[in-house]
Structure 1
Amino acid sequence: MTTAFARASNIFGWLSAAALAGALGACTPADTNDGANASGAQTATETEAVFAHDTSDLPADPSVRYGQLENGLRYAIMHNETPSNTAVLRMAFNAGSINEADDQRGLAHFLEHMAFNGSENVPEGEMVRLLERYGLEFGPDTNAGTNREYVIYMLNLPDASEELLDTGLMIMRETASNLLLDADAIDRERNVILSEERFRNSPLRRWNNALAEFRYPGSLMAQRDAIGIPEVIETAPRERFVDYYENFYTPERAMFVVVGDVDLDATEAMIREKFGDWEGPEEARPDPVAGEVDPDRGFEAGYFYDPEIYTILTIDAIRPGERQPDTADARFENGLRALGNAILERRLSSIISSGTSPLIQANVGFSEGEYDFATRASLLGVSQPDRWQEALGIMEQELRRAREFGFTQSELNEQISNMRTSLQNAADQAATRDNSDLAGGIWTSWRYGSVFGTPAAALERFNARVDEMTVEAVNAAFDAQWADTDPQVFLATSLEIENAEEAVATAYQDSTAVDVEPVEDTGATEFAYTDFGTPGTIVQRAEVEDLGLTRVIFENGVRVTLKPTDFEDDIIRVSLRFGRGELEPRADGEVVDTVTSSIFQSSGLGQHSADELQRVLAGRSVGGGFGVGEDAFVMGGTTTPTDLQLQLQLFAAFMTDPGWRPEGMAQYRAVAPEIRRNLRSSPSGLLQLEVARLLRSGDNRYGYPTEEELDAVTIEDAQAYLTGALERAPIEITMVGDIDIDAAIDAIASTFGALPARDGSWPDYEENRTVTFPDPTTEPVVLRHNGQDYQSMVNVYWPTTDDEDAHRSRVIRMLRQVLDLKLTERLREAEGFTYSAFNSNYESDVYPGYGYLWVGVDIRPENADAVYAAIEELAADMRNGEIDDDEMQRARQPLLEQIEEAQESNATWLGWLSGSFDDPSQLERIRSITADYQSITRDEIVEAARTYLDPNAEFRVTILPNEAAE
């Protein structure tokens, strides 16, 4: 099952993959592909082994042109047309925070910021403006990133014209060696960097750093978190920036990638012309030793305390190990490891699905040649805090069970099916891969010495050797990860534990004394929901030719919108709407909507538990999610033409026979306290937790439930809340993608078309369509978070209006865009108050008259009054008409480019079309969107500012540290 419908090991997605990436390392079936998810790429030119494929038996993707200039710069160019007439540029440097000296800690990342602050040919502050005029938005299209091992610069060009490509190459060339690094500009940027450090200083980041130090004590790697340390950020002189820049921004350390709708010959000539005169230092500075592993370390237990951290357990097996060459045999061994790790993770998922386990989430990982000095196998679990010993015991015992007795054939068959489907889908969808994904695969492949090949070649290798992926081979590969080394066990928790390391060691050792037995081979189970009765009859069919739509109504009332596209090969996106979502009746004060959204899928089906569905649907491209929207219940998923019938059968099964099993509620009750704990650990988290309700005068359909609210809801309440809509409400299905119209209609006819007749209409629940914006604040509402004492946030909300008038909503969107430009230039660039000023606008299409425009700024507590004053000054400037033509251009052009790109996005079309039977005006909004934004005038923006940025209507919220932390 390539897209899990209710994966129990991470069912709520509450601890993100990004948060775990550093703790786990790569270990999925994607390790068997040709590098787009691994890392490296390559053809020999002037020097030997310029790229990994020069010496590997793995073939490189022939559509990528590789080369190297005489100065050492490597480059890769690939023609691709998704999205059409666009291109992406990436420039990566094989150096990161590990390359810093002690008095440079944080300067690799700081330099990344300075790339936007003046160079020989682009004055300070002009680069972002220049790109905005072309339609690149600061952040999504113009960005950079730094970690321990590399720095990456990214430009997403909204058109692939020679003019814009030349501009993009010029900017990258400026970054490579022409930065001014003006001392005054550095000083102005210091507070921005400190603000970013403040914003990113989360419990998970502190845990990641503590875990790195435990794994690799005293290593340079553990000491080089990319954000650096405040003392260096505040005081490092210009000379230390220049030292890093001149020694590590060098052509032989750089890789330049262009992917998009470009001519290879012309682009290659432009790269050579722009970068050919770039010179590196006479003597290259070598990389430092990132760390080393003590092979005789022995068993060790570690402990990390933070009052706001999740309870996270890791078991590691660490041994010395450098990165190995990327070969076909190495990929095969990776595949064997990935299969074994996936089976262990699947077993843990089953335990979690029971609803009685102390584990909330579990992941298994493997990293070979980590930082080029360590190879590590990892098992990570997230636990209920007061049951961490039980959780550690489950982890240790399941790991030991797998090592002692291995895996069953049916378990292996399930994971091989998933791997085969993943590789087949990748091959089938290769022609419409996204520019950014391809560029990322190429440069990371170069960085980590692997070959960027084709999905078709990966599938071919899999098919050629799948018979060698036996239970015995997988067992051996799995066991080898953990053999010949003592484990390292680390506990992170919000509990203060006396003699914690000893307690962890004891819990682990006690678990090793528990006997384990082999897992029984359960065999396969067939999906029980394939017959829904006589296929339905169409009573109405119409074509909407200008939008490329086919619209169908079945005799039972099911309504369908189909849009075939060629934007994504072999991918179909499906959305299903029914009922009125949050508008549906519920008991006063009941949070049944939030609970239902969280437990519906994890409660399984009448004839299959959520865990069993994983086995039943193994190797099939079906899945999706369920949610309670403001005015509808929604199911959504992504599938393939081959599996469309099964996807619809799965949705129809949940409509007709939901399981309402208790384990779904049990899992949610276990994870909810940890979600609350995490949200209270930072200003932005507390914003999500509490402010949505404040903005609706206490309406608890919004915000996250309190413990008391959650405890008051039963699974029977959820069932009563949803059952009527499941059984009788009109159904609207929207489908976008690689669709055969007749096949799609037949699939719907045999599933949803075969259901009993739905009600002809459904109540609008007008009595539930009232939401009230709060009264203006004379003094800000103050909320207290439990994070660091220097983290705060100010928020201003202006009431606006609803979404009834599309043009009015678009004017408000443009108003927000202009305000965003002014906020960034004032609060970040000029005054250094913040790393980022956030903003959004919301005009409700459910609640008449309701909407707001929001500005939120991450700050130090002592700057709250000054930032509120600055926001008000900017709003007053806009009310007074201080908006120039350049700001209008820089606000409008990125929006227009986003709209043009969205026209080739199946996901966007799905959003545009879903619900269009209930609201036919959505179709006209699609038709008018580009011309409407083009028509908005400066005068309209000024008038909107006068109407909506009213200082007497503001609702302000200040989020400050808990008084105990001050």
Structure 2
Amino acid sequence: MSLKALSRLVFLPLLAGALLAACQPAGPAAEAVWPHDVSDLAADPAVRYGRLENGLRYAILANETPPNVASVRMVFNMGSLGEADDQRGVAHFIEHMAFNGSTNVAEGEMIPLLERHGLQFGPDTNAFTGYDTVGYQLDLPEADAESIDTALFIMRETATELVFDPEAIDRERGVILSEERFRNTAIRRWSTALQYFQLPGTLTPERDPIGTVEILETVQRDRFVDYYENFYVPQRGMVVVVGSIDPDAIEAKIHDVFGDWQAPEDARPDPDLGDVLEARPFSVGYFNDPEVFTIFTVNAIRPHQHEADTGESRFRDNLASFGDAILSRRLRTIVNSGVSPLLQAAASHSTSYELADEAGVLAVATPDRWAEAVTVIEQELRRATEYGFTQAELDEQLANFRTSLQNSADQAGTRDSAQLSDAIWSSWRGGQVFTTPASGLARFDASADRITLEAVNTAWAAQWTGAAPLLFLATSEMIADPGATIGAVWEASAAQPVDPPEDSGAQSFAYTDFGPAGTVAERTEVEDLGLVRLQFGNGVAVTLKQTDFEDQIVRVRVQFGRGELEPRAVPAVDILASSVFTASGLGAHSADDLSRVLAGRSVGISFGVGDDSFTFSANTTPADFEVQMDVFAAFMTDPGWREEGLAQYRGQAPEIRRNLYSSPTGILQADVARMLRSGDQRYGYPDEEEVAGVDLAAIQAFLDPALETAPIEITIVGDISEEAVIAAVGATFGALPERAASWPDYAEARDIRFPEATGEPVILRHNGPDYQAMANVYWPTFDDSVPRRSRALALLRAVFDLKLTERLREAEGFTYSAFNSSTTSDVYPDYGYLWVGVDVRLENVDATYAAIDELAAALAAGEITEDEILRARRPLLEQIEDAFENNGAWLNWLSQSWSKPERLDRIRALATDYAEIPREELVEMAAEYLQPETSWRVTILPRATE
């Protein structure tokens, strides 16, 4: 997460990730091979489905985005729910052991084997364990026969040939325990407590995939083998291959590789998960943790009723989803007021495995106003169930839903192979038919006349009737007699009458005329890069790269001013501006109103304060490109400067800060980012005094000069014609008064210094669990003025990363993952660094520093092999090759290329530089910069041990 993104942190995605495992859809029909076998929905005809005699399922899809790559997946329909009490954590542990030796691949050889094929451990080579699924993922940068053969070979080794060497198990324990330690957050603890409350007496709360420390420390080989032989069986498995492949050839390979896999006749069946109470009474739960957000949930939960995935079941589910969306929209309006106790809130419905059907509202509130938040949720939920929704509210959601379907259909031809492979197996695991986007749009249009307000009201209310509400409050506040206290707040609110909602009616966007359209004064082409460069008469500059990488998608970035370098009256005004500016809306529309006004439009409104520019950015479609430019130009010329945007930020800031200080990695973002720049207040996260010191006038004074007159540079990449760009930009930014020909460089603001080297590490404290610690080493390097040098540092970092993984993870078992990055600034002269950060136990901090120093010294002494360089370089080259077919990469490369024309040459030399960097250059760089006496070190320890 970027430092600026912290100022726009939203809570619901964090909570959704924690709840994901607890809110899975129903599994596939017990007797059906595929969900489409028992459905009237047509499966995507481009996908080839099959099943071997041993029961193994497979799906194959030819796809050319990106070109010449392939994604291979193998999943099993069982996860941690299959564990016995003395196996808790084994399913996930086995996932790790898959990389630690099999019959035909020695321990320590699998990852290097894949790296030599251009796969990077983590991004391209990964695995996951959930409650009811284990999966293995390989994204091949080359879809040649050798790479695919290797991928299928490794999947077969994983499925049947793992050896579970006891010594390897013992070596991996530290890694597993490190992962448990790293994931032990307040949100995870809340999620577990919530499951115990919502699904009491069932197996799910007892089977967190990470397991228990006691079992992880002691479990022996026989318990691994027991799970492996019972659940890694072909009848539970599925193999998916998507990419630049010949389906006939892939099908034959799958038969050859997996055909002799014997299916055991007595493999263990699915476990008994228990039962959900049919008529559970009104209940209240409470969870207290000093570091948790204040989270209130209310749910209606009933035993799950299985239903096949059909056209009619999807229609009914969509009706309820429209109700969820409308209630969520109402709650967002309350949040946007800036005076609400709510920080975020949303309604949803889901199925937890085969156990429970749930309707729910989840809200995040300020801690001292939790009772007000409970009251707001109770009354808005009751308002919806008693009075339903309005036609205007439904029309807004219908417009958004249809636009989403239309975009999916229009963009289907260039879907990413990795995403498609995951969607195919996920559909099988969720009991869903993998259909085409076009068919989804056709079904919606055919049933549009049935989506009435009455139908939506009825379907949505049905989720909440017949089941008593279950309330659960998590907070850092201590509440005496919480069950009675929380219940009393709910009941007191329920005794108050609520009024029906008001129909707000339709609104139209007020910004469509910015004056006479500007004309292009200068046009040039950069043929080798496929660019068109335009400059309008008022000075607005445009770089356009028209591509066919993504059908019907256009990526836009508008940059102006100097961002962080701009003068400011008070500290932290830049950090708050990133969040407050768009949240304050426009002169004619509040931020809340904009969502209604722009319903059904594919537009975005993202604003950020970068190191040396202010930036608007969005993804849109060719059809809505003109509206997107209208929106950007409106914010440029008539920002709303409403207080509610600042009020929202001030309400969120303490909770963001609480989250940051609850873990070592949060401390990195909150404090270390500033310390690495010798206390520069433009970085890190602002403290309470700094936030309180920023008012709307300060934000306006910070942004106004650049908004009014700074040069504007627009970068556009995607599926759009030059004519459409000229028309839309000419009518908006081209119509503005003449912009300044140049802008101050603010040289005095470019002075950032790396901190003085430390003899002993600086000690910082976090508020999380007492066994979480982190050791960090930063070596000062150089700026980005010489691209080749920056790329050599990136390659050195990649070699260092290999050594860190082999030493700290594989050999020592100190950590789940060592963090490693290099930074070279193109804004601050002479500023850059290489960083290694390691999450470890307290007792391993000193040994970790010693190991890092040994590895750095070895690099500086020339201990870099050609094989290590190959394994580091090839994934980088493969990533670069893919990036040349990626709109997002081009947008980043081309941004500010008018003010920094050297960026075009950087693109041209990118692949060559990485390909040509010799070993000797890496050794010289390591010897010069990886010296312990120049490093700055910070150890992050738990406050509980202070």
Q: State the TM-score, normalizing by the size of structure 1.
A: 0.96
2:313 to 315, 325, 330: 330
Match of 1:586 in 2: 568
Give the SS at the match of 1:156: strand
Give the CA deviation at 1:364.
1.0
Match of 1:485 in 2: 467
* Per-residue deviation, residues 636-657 of structure 1 (Å, max 9, x unmatched): 0000000000000000000000
2:926 to 941, 945, 948: 945
Give the CA deviation at 1:603.
0.2
Give the CA deviation at 1:502.
1.2
Give the SS at the match of 2:806: helix
Give the CA deviation at 1:280.
2.5
1:212 to 195, 206, 209: 195
* Per-residue deviation, residues 199-218 of structure 1 (Å, max 9, x unmatched): 00000000000000000113
Give the SS at the match of 1:222: helix
Match of 1:34 in 2: none
Match of 1:893 in 2: 874
* Per-residue deviation, residues 654-709 of structure 1 (Å, max 9, x unmatched): 00000010000000000000000000001111111100110000000000000000
Give the CA deviation at 1:282.
2.3
Cα distance in 2, alignment partners of residues 97 and 433 from structure 1: 31
Match of 1:470 in 2: 452
Give the SS at the match of 1:642: helix
Contact kept? 2:27, 2:353, Cα under 8 Å: no
* Per-residue deviation, residues 109-129 of structure 1 (Å, max 9, x unmatched): 000000000001111010000
Map 1:432-451; keep pairs closer than 5 Å. Answer: 432-451=414-433
Give the CA deviation at 1:223.
0.7
1:687 to 668, 684, 690: 668
Q: 1:444 to 1:743 in 2, by over 3 A?
A: same
Cα distance in 1, alignment partners of residues 176 and 605 from structure 2: 39
Give the SS at the match of 2:205: coil
Match of 2:16 in 1: 20
Give the CA deviation at 1:71.
0.2
Matched, 1:667 2:663: no
Q: What amino acid maps onto 1:374 in structure 2? A: A
2:761 to 748, 764, 780: 780
Q: 1:811 to 1:835 in 2, by over 3 A?
A: same
Matched, 1:871 2:852: yes
1:193 to 176, 191, 210: 176
Match of 1:4 in 2: none
Map 1:459-858; keep pairs closer than 5 Å. Answer: 459-587=441-569, 590-858=571-839
Matched, 1:357 2:340: yes
1:162 to 128, 145, 148: 145
* Per-residue deviation, residues 503-534 of structure 1 (Å, max 9, x unmatched): 11111111101110111111010000000000
Contact kept? 2:325, 2:347, Cα under 8 Å: yes
Cα distance in 2, alignment partners of residues 16 and 812 from structure 1: 37
Contact kept? 2:774, 2:837, Cα under 8 Å: yes
Map 1:218-237; keep pairs closer than 5 Å. Answer: 218-237=201-220
Q: What amino acid maps onto 1:832 in structure 2? A: G
* Per-residue deviation, residues 933-964 of structure 1 (Å, max 9, x unmatched): 000000000001011112111000000000x3
Match of 1:31 in 2: none
Matched, 1:239 2:235: no
Contact kept? 1:320, 1:375, Cα under 8 Å: yes
Give the SS at the match of 2:171: helix
Contact kept? 1:603, 1:609, Cα under 8 Å: yes
Matched, 1:268 2:264: no
Cα distance in 2, alignment partners of residues 48 and 385 from structure 1: 49
Cα distance in 1, alignment partners of residues 7 and 278 from structure 2: 37
Cα distance in 2, alignment partners of residues 891 and 789 from structure 1: 36
Match of 1:258 in 2: 241
Give the SS at the match of 2:322: helix
Moved more, 497-506 or 675-684: 497-506
Cα distance in 2, alignment partners of residues 323 and 837 from structure 1: 44
Give the CA deviation at 1:796.
0.2
Cα distance in 2, alignment partners of residues 364 and 12 from structure 1: 21
Q: What amino acid maps onto 2:268 in structure 1? A: R
Cα distance in 1, alignment partners of residues 920 and 408 from structure 2: 49
Cα distance in 2, alignment partners of residues 166 and 808 from structure 1: 37
Match of 1:76 in 2: 59
Cα distance in 1, alignment partners of residues 941 and 448 from structure 2: 57
Q: What amino acid maps onto 1:174 in structure 2? A: E
Give the CA deviation at 1:832.
0.4
Match of 1:89 in 2: 72
Match of 2:326 in 1: 343
* Per-residue deviation, residues 18-63 of structure 1 (Å, max 9, x unmatched): 5324548999xxxxxxxxx989899xxxx97310101100000000
Cα distance in 1, alignment partners of residues 231 and 861 from structure 2: 48
* Per-residue deviation, residues 528-574 of structure 1 (Å, max 9, x unmatched): 00000001021100000110000000110100000000000000000
* Per-residue deviation, residues 839-868 of structure 1 (Å, max 9, x unmatched): 111100000000000000000111111100
Matched, 1:297 2:280: yes
Q: Which 5+ residue runs of structure 1 have no aligned equivalent?
A: 1-6, 28-36
Match of 1:452 in 2: 434
Matched, 1:412 2:394: yes
Match of 1:379 in 2: 361
Cα distance in 1, alignment partners of residues 790 and 174 from structure 2: 35
Contact kept? 1:40, 1:452, Cα under 8 Å: no
Match of 2:104 in 1: 121
Cα distance in 1, alignment partners of residues 506 and 839 from structure 2: 52
* Per-residue deviation, residues 697-753 of structure 1 (Å, max 9, x unmatched): 000000000000010110000000000000000000000000111111111000000
Contact kept? 2:12, 2:345, Cα under 8 Å: no
Cα distance in 1, alignment partners of residues 159 and 706 from structure 2: 59
Give the CA deviation at 1:295.
1.6
Give the CA deviation at 1:590.
1.4
Contact kept? 1:24, 1:366, Cα under 8 Å: no
Give the SS at the match of 1:725: helix
Q: What amino acid maps onto 1:572 in structure 2? A: V
Cα distance in 1, alignment partners of residues 14 and 235 from structure 2: 30
Contact kept? 1:24, 1:379, Cα under 8 Å: no
Contact kept? 2:7, 2:576, Cα under 8 Å: no
Q: What amino acid maps onto 2:101 in structure 1? A: G
Q: Sequence identity of aligned pairs in percent?
A: 60
